[in-house]
Structure 1
């Protein structure tokens, strides 16, 4: 379990660096422009970079050691933030630099590589517990980082904050070198297109994975539409500062920590796991409806905590299903395909969120998102319940 602990602590460090970095880029841009369109563009640029790298590099992840992919990702992000620091020091503060930084720091395969590394370190029976522990720890770090970032941004200048981000990514790069990953015989050098097709074939073999991927793709449309407007929501609707935004942004991770603790201990029957996952998404959609009516920071924080508490029952079980059903030889690229399915509708969501908030207001945006997610996840829940009952009656007849 020593390797798992080291991976756990490294992910915490990486999350601190990436969360602080993203917070910093977003806040600097909003301070410079005060524009909802600029915030939407920043998210769109970031998501585009993530999708490109997962499509191109995803099938190649299993060609290399997972730790090598993780180190490469951290090195790239440290280098990009260092370049941004140098440009700002030289007096260049154009928004284009922030867009470029958001794009290049999103070109990372750290997360799918780390997820694919976990089954090499633990037994299958321990996957749910380990995934829940890592997921909860990651959200705990986000919970701690976001208000800390808001506080640090308010007392430090941009240069000092960027130096802190560069140092964190550099330290993460160094600590990954202490992770001992046993070489696997199955890692091969098959052509890119063959590896990508192998990843896609898993979804044909396990139709439920494709169904879940499509469902969360639609849900992510709403999630990214909302997240794009979180800073304007806190600043304009709630009248908050960077510190208040940090507290609001930390609310979801706080709830997620409690939800992860529950997910690792609640015993869910295998026949009911899909219904539980659908219910988690439905609860998440309901919180957007509530957020659309929130008028105070305290109420918004409570709503986000509730949303965070529900999500581990989707994320933890989903990740565990993949790790159990997918062969280790192609797990890296399958995680990348899952990422693509999850983010496929994100650009449309960002465009919708920016346009809707600008035209009708942020509250109307949240209400529409809640309606979309509740409709989709509620339909999925009914389908799962009907499917489960049909299978039960068929079994009784036989």
Structure 2
């Protein structure tokens, strides 16, 4: 951590704090809505309200993002989130069920709209505040600690619920996002360019140019598609995890809790492993293959401890792919269009998650839980194996480290 700049440390602190606050608030959203409605259908509606506007904005926001001051926009988003978490709290304090539900809906909508903008801007800011050779480690550190927070937040929230009324957790989430705002305020402005005024012509021209530029870089498109296969599998596991542990393996609720927590714990370990391995194409594709095999292995396991090990195994290996994949994109995409292309990349990745959910929950294919795990794992493993072999036979200079390029030259 000491090798990174002060700006990166500020971004890291802001991300970690907000992730904890968001995870805690997300848990309370579901609990509060179910307490008020007793309906699982409302739970689905709440997630759709988050997801659909988020994907729509993801698709059309790319042209704007090249014309904003990233550091300022990141801070403003955290302020909006901080105030948004007060909306259901106000409804609850008023004592109106309608106002509370409306506050929850508005909160989810705002969170869904803010997330793609925040993720694209923070992703594109990293090359401005980190040296090129630090990008893989920086991405791994951010991704790993964020996932670790998603594991720690539910347990911490459960303990808070023992001593605090449920609705007051919203106040905590709001304070966490406010703290994130102050952490991000430590990042100095890295760009001095003048922000262009918005017009419909600029938007449409930039929209076409952004997607056209994205497809001019086939190796970045390839890595984005590989990341999309991972998100497809993640979407499927949202449907599969509970029936697999509780149904196929006849496990208890606490055993499912360990199963769901094994992956983020493994991911934090994988982040540490990444700092000790060479940053090259072979390591990256090895992480992709190993992570995919963790899904395939679930087809065969007959005991819950082995299922825990599979999840831990996947968590350890996926950072080797994800962090280097992100670093390659940040390094090779045109710097003047990185923010815009990051939004396009994120759209490709995020849209596959609901496809994975539909695939796993659809009755059309008539697949068992184990068969679905095998298929989604194979979707990751097969292209990973192909590109691993290609990287050995025909190294792509764009995926080599500086040391490897020097050896070749």
TM-score (norm 1): 0.82
Which position in structure 2 is the counterpart of 1:91? 96
Measured in 2, the distance between the counterparts of 1:246 and 1:28 equals 21
Q: Check the 8 A contact 1:278/1:314 in 2, yes or no.
A: yes
Contact 1:291–1:300 at 8 Å: present in 2 too? yes
Kindly tell me: are residues 49 and 168 of structure 1, through their superposed partners in 2, closer, same or farther at Cα, counting changes over 3 Å?
Answer: same
Which of 145, 161, 174 is the aligned partner of 2:169? 161
Aligned to 2:154: 146
Q: Is the 8 A contact 1:256 1:308 kept in 2?
A: yes
Unaligned runs of 5+ in 2: 396-409
Seen in structure 2, the aligned counterparts of structure 1 residues 87 and 288 have a Cα distance that, compared at 3 Å, is farther
Greater displacement, 258-267 / 149-158: 149-158
CA shift digits 1:147-204 (9 cap, x unpaired): 2123334553321211111111122123322321233338655722333333323332
CA contact (8 A) 1:44 1:347 kept: no
How far the C-alpha of 1:324 sits from its partner, in A, is 0.7
Quote how far apart the aligned CAs of 1:297 are: 6.6
Partner of 1:259: 270
Q: Is it true that 1:7 corresponds to 2:7 in the alignment?
A: no
| 1:78 match | 82
Considering only aligned residues, what root-mean-square deviation do their CA atoms show, in Å? 3.3
Deviation at residue 302 of structure 1 after TM alignment: 3.4
Unaligned runs of 5+ in 1: 393-398
In 2, Cα distance between equivalents of 1:259 and 1:96: 41
Contact 2:20 2:153 in 1 (8 A): yes
1:376 aligns with 379
Partner of 2:358: 351
Give the count of matched residue pairs: 382
Aligned to 2:405: none
**Contact 2:295-2:377 at 8 Å conserved across structures:** no
Structure 1 pair 381/285, CA: closer, same or farther in 2 (3 Å)? Answer: closer
Deviation at 1:383, TM superposition (A): 2.6
Q: Is the 8 A contact 1:24 1:153 kept in 2?
A: no
Q: How does 1:207-246 map to 2 (within 5 A)?
A: 207-228=218-239, 238-240=251-253
Instruction: Give the 3 Å change call, closer, same or farther, for CA 39–219 of structure 1 in structure 2.
Output: farther
Report which stretch shifted further, 118-127 or 196-205: 196-205
Which moved further from structure 2: 328-337 or 244-253?
244-253
